[in-house]
Amino acid sequence: MRRILEIITNSFKMASQELWKNKLRTFLSLFGVTIGIFCIIGVLATVGSLEHNIQSEIKSLGTNTIYIDKWEYSMQGPDFPWWKYVKRPVPKFEEVEAIKERTGTAKFAAFEINTQGDVERNDNILQGITLYGVTEDFPNIQPMDIQFGRSLMASDYDQGSNACIIGYEVCDKLFGTGDNALGKIISIKQKNCVVAGVMKKKGSQMIGGWEFDKSVIMTYKYARTIMNEENSSPLILVQGKDNINTKILKDDLRGAMRGIHKLSPTQDDDFALNDINDFSESMSKAFVSVNIGGWAIGALSFIVGIFGVANIMFVTVKERTGQIGLKKAIGAKSGIILSEFLAESAFLCIIGGLIGLLLVFILTKIVTAAFDFPIFLSPGIIILAMLICIIAGVVAGIVPALQASRMDPVVAIRSN
């Protein structure tokens, strides 16, 4: 162990001396490694952060949840056969109770309608606000974090009261602070709603989602007096029990929905069961291809970098021929010489990699601040970068190191 530490220490000193003595030459040779790490880690960090944010948003749509709709969410695109779905019946409020009775694997089932509208407070008008009408189980499936006031209570849902929950941005623009909003009246399509609570700030979402910051949430019974239910994207959300996966829940729901719609065995489904987990898996597969592209871009730069480091090591071996001969003459084994040069090559690559990581770190801070999109360097990515540098260093230095370890000490000393 002591010998290994001595080899590592000596190699680090030699690499530092080489870098200090020939700054420009070493920098130009390491530039390929720096750019390679910058490309690979930059792409991996950006894609990893993007995937993490999107996956978090998908999970926020409800864990272990099935969305019952007339549309198939996973089949969107230019070839989407919309004509197959447009004539399907929309989900009905009455179907929620039937689903609860027929689906033993369901824990919660909620009905939701929504539309866009204006929200007024005195002379202040907010346009394009999403108005949601929900039933009692909705908060259990899709948690709404309340910062001020209270959430909608069972009595609100039963009586169809005009109490509502407003999003952070709606509150900020109409009332300023959340305390000012509580108990105040807002007007929606000539109907008055009393603010019972204000939600915590969620931030903008890349995939759309619920966009609670720009929303008003009210009970379904009151919402249907404001909006036309048939034209308000009605939706049923069903969450499975804790020990039930969505595939089992989906099978049970298919049987329940076919029974509710009185479909014969020969008839196709006239409803869609959209699994949140399917979205997550589709996103993961899409990001695999993007990561491969990032590796390919970085690999091209790395090849150049490896040749650059190999060139440094060939020159270094030639410059230290006399030293190598003296070491071998006083008893240094070929394996020690080989290890020292390989370690030195690895250290040079690590230096280039650290510069690349520093550039990526600076880039993440700039992008995060400029676009409000958090990009982070995870410990796993940093470790991966160092492993890549070490492997690249060994590959780049193997031939020069073998050349040094096989030198004849007498010939090496005479050539000095």
pLDDT-based confidence at residue 148 (cuts at 50, 70, 90): very high
Using CA atoms, how far residue 241 sits from 63, 67, 238, in Å, is 11, 15, 10
- Top-ranked range on mean pLDDT: pick from 147-156, 240-249, 305-314: 147-156
Contact yes or no for 82/62 (Cβ under 8 A): no
Closest CA relative to residue 271, chosen from 100, 88, 109: 88
Contact yes or no for 166/216 (Cβ under 8 A): yes
Residue 144 CB coordination number (10 Å): 20
Contact yes or no for 405/338 (Cβ under 8 A): yes
Q: At what angle do helices 334-371 and 276-319 cross, to 10 degrees?
A: 140
What confidence score (pLDDT) does residue 60 get? 66
How much is the average pLDDT of 188-194? 92
Closest CA relative to residue 212, chosen from 293, 129, 119: 129
Residue 274 CB coordination number (10 Å): 20
pLDDT-based confidence at residue 391 (cuts at 50, 70, 90): confident
Q: Residue with structure tokens 């680090």?
A: 12
* pLDDT for residue 91 is more than 90: yes
C-alpha dihedral sign at 137, 138, 142, 146: negative
Contact yes or no for 412/81 (Cβ under 8 A): no
* pLDDT for residue 416 is more than 60: no
What confidence score (pLDDT) does residue 134 get? 96
How much is the average pLDDT of 33-60? 77
Residue-range domain boundaries for the chain: 2-57+281-414, 89-270
Q: Above pLDDT 90, what percent of the chain?
A: 31
The DSSP result for 323-347, as a single string, is: HHHHHHHTT--HHHHHHHHHHHHHH
Tokens (6 digits) for 375: 């990009």
What confidence score (pLDDT) does residue 221 get? 95
Cα–Cα distance between 256 and 262 in angstroms, integer?
10
* pLDDT for residue 193 is more than 80: yes
Closest CA relative to residue 137, chosen from 65, 193, 73: 65
The DSSP result for 43-72, as a single string, is: HHHHHHHHHHHHHHHHHHT-TTEEEEESS-
Contact yes or no for 158/183 (Cβ under 8 A): no
Judged by average pLDDT, the poorest of 23-27, 313-317, 366-370, 407-411 is 23-27
pTM (global) more than 0.85: no
Q: Give the start-end residues of each E strand in 261-409.
A: 272-275
CA 82 from chain centre, in angstroms, equals 30
State whether residue 170 is helix, strand or coil.
helix
Reported as a single tens digit per residue, the pLDDT across 304-357 is 778 878 887 887 778 777 777 777 777 777 777 787 778 778 888 888 888 888
What confidence score (pLDDT) does residue 16 get? 65
What confidence score (pLDDT) does residue 206 get? 58
Cα–Cα distance between 237 and 96 in angstroms, integer?
9
Q: Residue with structure tokens 């996973």?
A: 74
